[in-house]
Amino acid sequence: MKPLHSHSILTSPPTLLFLTLLLMLLSPQVSNADPGDVYSADGTKSDTPKEWAIALHGGAGYVSPDMPEARRVAYEEALQEALAIGSEILEEGGSSLDAVEATVRFLEDHELFNAGKGAVFTAEGRNELDAAIMDGHTMQAGAVTGVTTVKNPVTLARRVMTDSRHVFFSGDGAEAFADGTDVERVDPSYFYTESRFEALRRVQEAERDSSPGDDSDEKGGSGAEVEPGAEPGAEPDASHDSQESSNESIRGWKYGTVGAVAKDREGRLASATSTGGMTNKRFGRVGDVPIIGSGTYANKDVAVSATGWGEKIMLHVSAHTLASHYRFTGASLQESMDYLVDEVLEPGDAGFIAVDRTGAVSMKTNTGSMFRAAADSEGLREVAIW
Ligand code: ASP
């Protein structure tokens, strides 16, 4: 074996001078990184692309660090389990699409998260679910909004992508499309959970209190008590929106939503997101999640999934904004994430997870907390809330 520090032509002074000049010539003149460079989650340059990588979220919001220990553990265990599902698929050479779908399905089935079972309630006491999935390799996507009988909306979204010539189905049309597939259906009462129904009551009470004397309050409360599963549009009357006065109360609500992004061994990127939306949302309200480019996006550079205040996320076409920043400025994934979260959105609006074509991951929120987890082929394993 050759000694490590043997003198060779490579270390002779003329060669060193030549190599130094060559390096200077090849170095980028501006601080922007070459998009082909590899960065780790903290924005520092790393040497090796990751064979595979995955990140997931279970919603951004304002969870108190003083939350009961048992509840924190329950969240962490669920995130860990979700991470294991996606990681195993990727480790065994499965596709990023399969990984994000399976991860999101698990989170949809888990009561702790606002998607599928555990979804939040509309102002009328119903559960109307949104989901989307996107394959960054083929630039195909599928999305559904306002579904009420599909156990795993992310799987229906995938069917829209693969089995239809359309991208986005809503309400009755989405249900009718589901009829022609093998996706599992449930009675709408399946989505009922006491804690989410209580949350609806609390939000509606708080809003009644904040607008005393106004019995057609701005977010949908008429003063009438809602029952789970009431007819859409029946009660309460939600015809007097006053966006300004409700901004602060919306920021104070706990957001939710689940999502996953992944890069597989073939280098393909995918993103999936699923949600019940926002507590007390009005009948027919569509959030950012199923709007391709807002809450969900993937191309050959990056895959992104959002959570937070849907109206803000969609107004900034957020997931696509991150992707464009990454592509057109040559910034690292983390720099593009910082731009979106710190400069485009306002504090308290939203959180995002993203993975790029090198397998770098980034997870960041400007709310107080975001349930999140990430793993990669090089041994990264992270589960965090704050
Ligand atoms: N972004 C979701 C929506 O607005 C909600 C959330 O992430 O909490 O529908």
Q: Is 277 in the pocket of ligand 1 (CB under 6 A)?
A: yes
pLDDT at site 52 = 98
- Please, what's the largest Cα pairwise distance for the chain? 87
pLDDT in tens, 49-61: 999 999 999 999 9
**Interatomic CA distance for residues 386 and 384, integer angstroms:** 6
Nearest ligand 1 atom to the CA of 295 is: 1
Using alpha carbons, select from 312, 315, 322 the residue that is nearest to residue 346.
312
Give all domains of the chain, ordered by start, each with its CATH number.
53-192+253-384 (3.60.20.30)
Which residues, listed in sequence order, are joined to residue 375 by a DSSP beta bridge?
A: 54, 381
Ligand 1 atom 4 nearest Cα: 310
pLDDT at site 264 = 98
Q: Is 307 in the pocket of ligand 1 (CB under 6 A)?
A: yes
Q: In a 3-state reduction of DSSP, which class is residue 215?
A: coil
Q: Is 86 in the pocket of ligand 1 (CB under 6 A)?
A: no
Using alpha carbons, select from 43, 158, 168, 148 the residue that is nearest to residue 103.
158
**Interatomic CA distance for residues 179 and 182, integer angstroms:** 8
16 Cα–ligand 1 center, Å = 56
**Interatomic CA distance for residues 372 and 128, integer angstroms:** 24
In the residue annotation, 257 being an active-site residue is answered as yes
28 Cα–ligand 1 center, Å = 39
How crowded is residue 193: how many other Cβ atoms within 10 Å of its Cβ?
Answer: 18
| Residues 42, 334 contacting (CB under 8 angstroms) | yes
Ligand 1 atom 7 nearest Cα: 307
Residue 362 dihedral angles phi and psi, to the nearest 5° = -145, 140
Report the half-sphere exposure of 260 (CA within 13 A, side-chain side). 30
Q: What is the CA radius of gyration of the chain?
A: 23
**Interatomic CA distance for residues 270 and 311, integer angstroms:** 23
Q: Is 255 in the pocket of ligand 1 (CB under 6 A)?
A: yes
Q: Where are the alpha helices (DSSP H) in the chain?
A: 13-26, 69-91, 96-109, 153-163, 171-179, 194-210, 243-252, 310-315, 318-329, 333-338
329 Cα–ligand 1 center, Å = 28
pLDDT at site 206 = 87
What is the DSSP track for 356-382?
ETT--EEEEESSSEEEEEEEETTS-EE
pLDDT at site 32 = 36
pLDDT at site 221 = 32
Residue with tokens 């559960």: 127
Nearest ligand 1 atom to the CA of 285 is: 9
Residues of the chain scoring pLDDT < 50? 1-11, 20-39, 41, 44-45, 213-224, 233-245, 252
| Residues 233, 124 contacting (CB under 8 angstroms) | yes
Using alpha carbons, select from 346, 362, 281, 269 the residue that is nearest to residue 313.
346
Q: Is 258 in the pocket of ligand 1 (CB under 6 A)?
A: no
pLDDT at site 17 = 52
**Interatomic CA distance for residues 43 and 207, integer angstroms:** 41
**Interatomic CA distance for residues 358 and 36, integer angstroms:** 8
Q: Is 351 in the pocket of ligand 1 (CB under 6 A)?
A: no
Q: Residue 130: CB partners within 8 Å, gap ≥ 6?
A: 143, 144, 145, 146, 147, 153, 274, 275, 276, 277, 286, 287, 289, 290
Pocket-testing residue among 127, 196, 203, 257, ligand 1, by greatest number of atoms within 8 A of Cβ: 257
Given its phi and psi angles, is residue 145 left (phi above 0), alpha (psi -120 to 50 degrees) or beta? beta
Q: Is 287 in the pocket of ligand 1 (CB under 6 A)?
A: yes
Pocket-testing residue among 255, 271, 317, 345, ligand 1, by greatest number of atoms within 8 A of Cβ: 255
Characterize the bridge pairing of strands 168-170 and 140-147.
parallel
Pocket-testing residue among 62, 258, 288, 294, ligand 1, by greatest number of atoms within 8 A of Cβ: 288
pLDDT in tens, 316-327: 999 999 999 999
Q: Is 259 in the pocket of ligand 1 (CB under 6 A)?
A: no
Using alpha carbons, select from 325, 372, 371 the residue that is nearest to residue 345.
325
Ligand 1 atom 5 nearest Cα: 277
Q: Is 131 in the pocket of ligand 1 (CB under 6 A)?
A: no
Using alpha carbons, select from 350, 111, 135 the residue that is nearest to residue 253.
350
**Interatomic CA distance for residues 157 and 167, integer angstroms:** 8
Q: Where are the alpha helices (DSSP H) in 229-292?
A: 243-252
Catalytic-role residue among 122, 155, 257, 321: 257
